[in-house]
Amino acid sequence: MQLLYQTHSPYARKVLVMAHEAGLANRLHVVHHETSPTWRNEEVFCLNPLGKVPVLVLDDGTALFDSSVICEYLDGLHDGPTFIPSDPRERWRSLRLQALAQGLCDAGIAVRHETVRRPEALRYPAMRDGQMEKLVAAYDFLEREWADPSPPCRIDIGQIALATALSWLAFRELPDFEHGRPHLSAWYRAFIQRPSMLATPLTGDTVD
Ligand SMILES: N[C@@H](CCC(=O)N[C@@H](CS)C(=O)NCC(=O)O)C(=O)O
């Protein structure tokens, strides 16, 4: 299978980290693609009309997109415990965490549009501030969740999505999530030492 990837995309990295965790990474041919709403990548558009990565091209040519859909597909290809739990309580906790992590990335990208990506004259400070507030509110929510005495015991899609989101926020020097949040910070520090994270470093700049 071919994975249309980007070395500085948190969404693409979520897929690749999950593939590593599931023992599927050696079945993926990973190809880097630059994408941006202001810079059209024809190869990506041919497979995903939204022009975004990640895209997973299956052996029969089917193109799957959106990282969450690709992760669900990969979760059906391995024999280990699933990364999207089937037990209802664990499942909705995991999927909600994944949704929060996706929202962190979405808000972080929006902040970058209003700070470094959009031409200066077109930036809108109120939008930047509103998106920053979402980041900080989500960090505080996560710290409360991580202080829970019964944290999730095995790696799931929620944790993979969160670790790759936080790691990207740190990479892009977006507002800090560690200071004053000891539970979240301790979990993050441990997770980024996993071989799946070490094998998938973030590199490169956005091309707009
Ligand atoms: N919800 C999508 C988001 C994917 C996404 O936004 N990818 C970025 C790279 S970080 C992209 O390709 N952006 C190009 C664009 O917005 O046109 C997912 O989870 O896969």
* CA distances to 17, 38, 64, 130, 148 from 70, in Å: 12, 25, 6, 30, 30
CATH of domain 2-75: 3.40.30.10
pTM: predicted TM-score of the whole model, two decimal places:
0.98
Contact call for residues 187 and 146 (beta carbons, < 8 A): yes
How is the chain split into domains, by residue range? 2-75, 88-194
Q: Judge if the beta carbon of residue 206 lies within 6 A of ligand 1.
A: no
Give the pLDDT confidence of 19-54 residue by residue, as tens digits: 999 999 999 999 999 999 999 999 999 999 999 999
Residues 16, 28: Cα–Cα separation, whole Å: 9
Pocket test for ligand 1, best of 11, 13, 70 (most atoms within 8 A of CB): 11
Q: How do residues 105-157 score in pLDDT, each as one tens digit?
A: 999 999 999 999 999 999 999 999 999 999 999 999 999 999 986 766 789 99
Beta carbon of 108 within 6 Å of any ligand 1 atom: no
Q: What is the CATH number of domain 88-194?
A: 1.20.1050.10
